[in-house]
Structure 1
Amino acid sequence: MSDLHTVTWRKSSYSNGDGGACVEVATDCLGVVPIRDSKFPAGPVVLVSYDGWVDFLDAIKDETGALP
């Protein structure tokens, strides 16, 4: 993945409106899920494998019961 300027970023529904805890993900990439801080979009991006992302979401669902 060399160009993240063309992906569609989506802010987490858990991000609050006062500028804190803002996480964005892009789910339109093959095989990876880029994650970044929406307050610093030009900053670093963490790339997680798609399978790792699914495992992460499953773990959250198991912990909280469901995702909104």
Structure 2
Amino acid sequence: MFQDSPIYDRLVAECGDVPTLVRREAERVNRELEAVMRPMRLPGRERPPAPGNGWQRTALLPGPRPS
């Protein structure tokens, strides 16, 4: 990400690679959320997911929240 950057290299040496640690933790939380948010699947009741249903990965824009 920051090749040939002595300042970044020094920060990583002093504090650890925080961006990588945060990214890994975010991916772990994302996997857990996907498992929890997935509807229960009972034997014999399999059905394809309806389009548009379920959790979607969209970011909220900064500013006031819509009501």
Same fold judged by TM-score > 0.5?
no
TM-score bracket for this pair, using the shorter chain length:
under 0.3
TM-score of the two chains, using structure 2 as the length reference: 0.27
Report which of the two has the higher share of strand: 1
Report which of the two has the higher share of helix: 2
Higher gyration radius (CA) = 2
TM-score of the two chains, using structure 1 as the length reference: 0.26
